């Protein structure tokens, strides 16, 4: 094997993949290897490539004609069927990075590397043009808690490192008892939340739990909102109750309520009791409504202002980055108190109207009073028809006393009218380069 053909997986992930005509096919996300008894080096059988549409597909190494520092070149047809890992396949970034292994080479053991953590894996092309994993870049295990804390703070890893032959590493193919997921998340650092959720969905349950343990509460909450219900329940059930309650507090109220509704009632009640009372109250209210009614689908945190608030204040509210686009299209004007359930609901203001009027004008002077609010018991069909009839992306929901309870958005409705497995649909298409 020639050293010129050696590529490290951590550097390979993220590279653009091009067809022979120079058109970009996608981006490398992982490398698939297969362990066999025939030889100590696992064979590289292909790449996991993310293509437009957030789909991850498999590209065999036989289709890879060139790998250099800037790109991967492929040839032939690219099968656009979604990648599904087989039982005898191992994902290098997802499953080998951060794994604790035993290094058997005498010089490595003498240097204190008998126990080490996998940082990277090098692959090489043989004279017969097959690719194999040949080297492992390891970091000395057993760092102190202070060193690990400093590493997380500075994003620089502590401890000695060494490059060793893969046949001198034991434990790569064994079932890992516990494994960090920091290196995996670094590999996918450029992904948006929905795309990262897709990656996490494809992991096995053990690895999903390890990823959840590394993510902070806010990030995990965002990802849970993008995952199928079964994955949500599995991850929340794997957390200790105190942390699960913190994550639920960080989720959008309607998504958190939907997740609680999928848990056993006893567990849901335990989590609600661990939450802050002002965070648990909206969830209890949402859980009191039927799932397919306006009350069951709404979010309890739309943009709410008093009539004397200025247009400038309203624009500042809808400009917030954390606000969902559908909620940012509408401001709801109510009498105090301004947290749901509010005082008397007065009407709504469209964002386009906010952009047309003077910033110093009060929002109470430009209220649209013609749009009737939805009652909390309005059916899914009623909500869907109203949104479609008036070309809206959100609608107010009020109680029998005319107090604003929340708002239903078009994404809430889509979650209920699409098939239950819409997040998991498999596409089988082929494109020519």
* pLDDT single digits (tens) 23-41: 899 999 999 999 988 888 9
Per-domain residue ranges of the chain: 183-293, 304-417
* pLDDT attached to residue 426: 40
* pLDDT attached to residue 423: 56
Alpha-carbon distance 148 to 142, whole Å? Answer: 10
Query: Are 305 and 396 within 8 A, CB to CB?
Result: no
Q: Is the pLDDT of residue 420 over 70?
A: no
* pLDDT single digits (tens) 6-23: 899 999 999 999 988 888
* pLDDT single digits (tens) 214-240: 999 999 999 999 998 999 999 999 999
Give 120 or 423, the one with higher predicted confidence: 120
Which residues, including other chains, have CB under 8 Å from residue 95's CB and lie 6 or more apart?
A: 207
**Domain 183-293 CATH assignment equals 1.25.60.10:** yes
* pLDDT single digits (tens) 68-104: 868 999 987 778 888 888 888 999 999 999 999 999 9
DSSP 74: E
* pLDDT attached to residue 143: 53
- The pTM score is 0.75
* pLDDT attached to residue 153: 47
* pLDDT attached to residue 78: 77
Q: Which of 404, 267, 386, 380 is nearest to 332 (CA)?
A: 404
Q: Is the pLDDT of residue 1 over 80?
A: no
Query: Are 223 and 196 within 8 A, CB to CB?
Result: yes
Alpha carbon distances (Å) from 427 to 62, 104, 258, 399, 416:
23, 44, 27, 43, 21
Indicate the pLDDT class of residue 204, thresholds 50, 70 and 90: confident
**Domain 304-417 CATH assignment equals 3.40.250.10:** no
Share of the chain above pLDDT 90, in %: 67
Same CATH topology for 183-293 and 304-417? no
* pLDDT attached to residue 274: 97
């Amino acid at each position: 094997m020639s050293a010129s053909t050696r590529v490290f997986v951590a550097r390979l992930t993220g590279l653009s993949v091009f067809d022979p005509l120079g058109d970009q096919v996608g981006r490398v996300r992982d490398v698939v290897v297969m362990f066999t008894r025939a030889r100590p080096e696992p064979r590289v059988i292909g790449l996991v490539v993310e293509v437009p549409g957030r789909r991850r597909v498999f590209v065999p190494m036989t289709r890879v004609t060139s790998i250099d520092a800037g790109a991967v070149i492929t040839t032939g047809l690219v099968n656009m069927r979604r990648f599904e890992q087989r039982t005898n396949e191992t994902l290098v970034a997802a499953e080998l990075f951060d794994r604790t292994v035993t290094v058997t080479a005498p010089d490595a053991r003498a240097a204190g590397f008998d126990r080490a953590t996998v940082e990277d894996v090098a692959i090489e092309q043989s004279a017969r043009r097959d690719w194999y994993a040949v080297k492992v870049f390891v970091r000395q295990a057993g760092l102190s808690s202070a060193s690990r804390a400093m590493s997380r703070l500075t994003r620089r890893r502590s401890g000695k490192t060494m490059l060793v032959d893969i046949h001198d590493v034991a434990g790569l193919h064994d079932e890992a008892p516990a494994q960090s997921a920091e290196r995996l998340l670094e590999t996918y650092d450029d992904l948006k939340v929905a795309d990262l959720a897709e990656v996490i969905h494809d992991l096995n349950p053990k690895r999903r739990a390890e990823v959840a343990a590394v993510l902070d509460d806010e990030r995990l909450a965002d990802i849970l909102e993008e995952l199928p219900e079964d994955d949500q329940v599995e991850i929340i059930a794997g957390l200790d109750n105190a942390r699960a309650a913190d994550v639920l507090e960080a989720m959008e109220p309607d998504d958190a309520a939907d997740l609680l509704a999928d848990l056993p009632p006893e567990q849901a009640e335990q989590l609600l009791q661990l939450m802050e009372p002002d965070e648990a109250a909206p969830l209890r209210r949402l859980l009191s409504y039927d799932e397919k009614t306006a009350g069951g689908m709404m979010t309890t945190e739309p943009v709410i202002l008093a009539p004397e608030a200025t247009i400038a204040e309203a624009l500042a509210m809808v400009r917030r980055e954390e606000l969902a686009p559908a909620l940012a299209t509408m401001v709801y004007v109510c009498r105090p108190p301004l947290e749901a359930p509010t005082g008397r609901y007065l009407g709504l203001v469209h964002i386009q109207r906010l952009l047309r009027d003077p910033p110093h004008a009060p929002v109470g002077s430009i209220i649209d009073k013609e749009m009737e609010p939805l009652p909390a018991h309005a059916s899914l069909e009623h909500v869907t028809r109203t949104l479609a009839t008036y070309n809206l992306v959100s609608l107010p929901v009020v109680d029998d006393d005319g107090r604003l309870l929340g708002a239903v958005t078009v994404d809430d409705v889509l979650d209920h009218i699409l098939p239950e497995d819409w997040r998991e649909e498999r596409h089988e298409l082929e494109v020519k380069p």
